[in-house]
Amino acid sequence: MTNEIQHFIGLSDLKGLQYECATCNTRINASLADKEKRKHAETLAAKTRCPVCGTQWFQGDSDARVMAIRQFIGYLFELSDHEANFKNTGVGLSITLEIEPPIQ
């Protein structure tokens, strides 16, 4: 019998989103946990170029990848809000995401 260790995180474990420019290595962070700061994450999702070095990441707002990032962030917010209400509404479910194990 083989033992396999799996690592999971819950939606409530997701605290932020980070973009890192491959050209200048600038990191831009946005909170996902703080509902008041979610607007920054939504704004970050709309970025098509690095605000520091100007490297173009995407062709424009209509680029399918930009739209996918926006949708992904929106779904994270929506799922987090719904999961927070699961216990209050009698839903016996939690959602977790499997991740790579941390590097030792």
Q: Is residue 98 in some structural domain?
A: no
Domain extent for 23: 15-92
Q: Which residues pair with residue 27 across a beta bridge?
A: 20
Q: Is the pLDDT score of 93 beyond 80?
A: yes
| Helix, strand and coil in the chain, % to nearest 5 | 35, 20, 45
Q: Is residue 103 in some structural domain?
A: no
Residue 78: other Cβ atoms inside 10 A: 10
Q: Is residue 72 in some structural domain?
A: yes
- Is residue 93 within 8 Å of residue 1, measured between CB atoms? no
Q: Is residue 20 in some structural domain?
A: yes
* Per-residue model confidence (pLDDT) at position 83: 81
pLDDT in tens, 15-56: 888 889 999 999 988 887 777 777 777 777 778 889 899 999
Q: Is residue 4 in some structural domain?
A: no
Total length of the chain: 104
* Per-residue model confidence (pLDDT) at position 66: 86
Q: Is residue 34 in some structural domain?
A: yes
How many domains is the chain partitioned into structurally?
A: 1
Q: Is the pLDDT score of 84 beyond 80?
A: no
H-type helices in 19-63, by residue range?
38-45
Q: Is residue 5 in some structural domain?
A: no
Q: Is the pLDDT score of 13 beyond 80?
A: yes
